[in-house]
Structure 1
Amino acid sequence: MGSSQRLSIVIYCYIAMETVTETMETMEIESDTDSSDSSVPLLDEPSETEFEINNKSALRKNYDQIKLDVPWVETQSIVSSEPSVIDDINNDVERELTFYKQALEATIEGRKKLMTFGIPFSRPDDYFAEMVKSDEHMSRIRKKLINEEQGIKASEEARRQRELKKFGKKVQVMKIQERQKQKKDELDKIKLMKKKRKGVEDTAVDDDFEIALDEAAAEDNNNRPKKLQKTGHNKKRVMKDTKFGFGGKKRFAKSNTAESSGNISIFGTKNIKKGLKDSNDLKSNTRSKKKIIKSRPGKARRQKERKKK
């Protein structure tokens, strides 16, 4: 924008302000005379009447006085071809859309005129403008953005892990409940079959029933994971069984009955000699085993053997 254009704009603004000031003073004087002459009492509330000041003839006259005959390139001002008409000025969307259309029309028209005058208006491809902020400032901003992004990713990952953990626990509980239900159903079936078979003395049918139970148990073991399948008896269980028995009556297990007290055949000389012989054999076997076990050599002997090697 040239210096002549700036000067013309300043003059135009000054003249417009003077015109508006004179008009306002004239209106104030007229209102004072009207209020003094009239006998109507003044209202308590101020009047909401708005006065429109648009003296087109005076503005046009002043414009013609300050107008300069300069080419369009100096001013680069474009007037819209159609006046802006807004039905509802309080509607922000409609108002902004009108401004957008007006600016778009002016941009297209100005681009055509600049191309006609041969004036470049696009930035070259190899042009690098100096940034307002320094590289150090931008690096700090970049680091901050990266940290925020990483924090968001970490929180999302933690939330996903929590959801997976909850889902895993839910699946585990469902699996346990399913197994318990399956076990209960099988026991109920067995009880029902036993009730139905009460009073039946057919051994063949009993054998079929036992075989069916064995097959069901084998199928259940096959369906289980390999880790859960037992390869043999529990040693702890075996030891307790040998010590305490397999259930049933525990008290008076070694007491005599009428049959055992009446049977004196076990007290014969043959049985007594046989018992003594068996006990002697056991003692001899334990002694031979003790002899076979070699004792550990002493420290000096072990050192000599190491030196020989």
Structure 2
Amino acid sequence: MNMEDFENDNQLGVESEEEESDVSDGELQEAFSKGLLKPGLNIPLQEAKKKVNNVAALKQCLADFRRNLPWVERLDLTNGPVADIVAKADGKTSVEDRGEINAEDDFQREMHFYRQAQAAVLEALPRLQMLKLPTKRPEDYFAEMAKSDQQMQKIRKKLVMKQAAMEKSEKAKKLREQRKYGKKVQTEVLQKRQKEKKAMMTAVKKYQKGISDKLDFLDGDKDKGKKALDKAAAKKIHSPSAKRKYKDQRFGFGGKKRGSKWNTKESYDDVSGFRAKVAHGKGGKKFGKGGQKIPNKRPGKNARRKMKSRS
């Protein structure tokens, strides 16, 4: 078989498959239209169910379900939430009155349910008391909890841990506040003491210098005032020693020290210690500068050797 025969056979095979597929599609469409197809390969679309609103049948079903039972057996209440006491106390309108209830807000939703339950309790309790039905659980009442003891232990443990953490936080907060208050009080006490001490020292100095003769500063603390007064009196009565007087005379009293050796008019006019020979260098060999006597100068080593050889 050459290449041309192979290509011809392939073309014939493709055309035959197309003809067979066209025929089979037509047969399938015809069988589907006649309803002869079996389920499995092709699933026919189901028509949408028609919605029927049979009001009479619904009312009949409701009448069959209804039972004329007393309210004690039903305990059904239909009411709205109680008034918002917090908003009234603050002088504000409640969220319901303003119509701003947000169903997506968890807090508002839960508070609405809570207040609605309160309203139901406030309405149900008087009716139960009028019917002389007990509303409190007896002491010997026993009922199984909806949750297990293990779950309740976990919840109790978590609540105890949360309460302990809150108490610890409150305690730490109180300690911080006490420390701040104690530090503030301590600072105020120190400032007050320093102020009193300064005022007392000022009064003592005034009394010591004779500026004031008032002893009002002794009224606050008699012991301290007495000690300060005794000290001031002792300092006032005590006279300086001879050594102190000599030093004061020689070195002064702590005043101006620079220029203390400068000439004055009196020292310039005083010429009693003036010596002309000493001043002009005519004092002779025996006297040097300033009129001091020059001692005998020892001869040198060579001079002493010569003097020795001569002898």
Q: What TM-score, normalized by structure 2, do the two folds share?
A: 0.35
TM-score (norm 1): 0.35
Greater C-alpha radius of gyration? 2
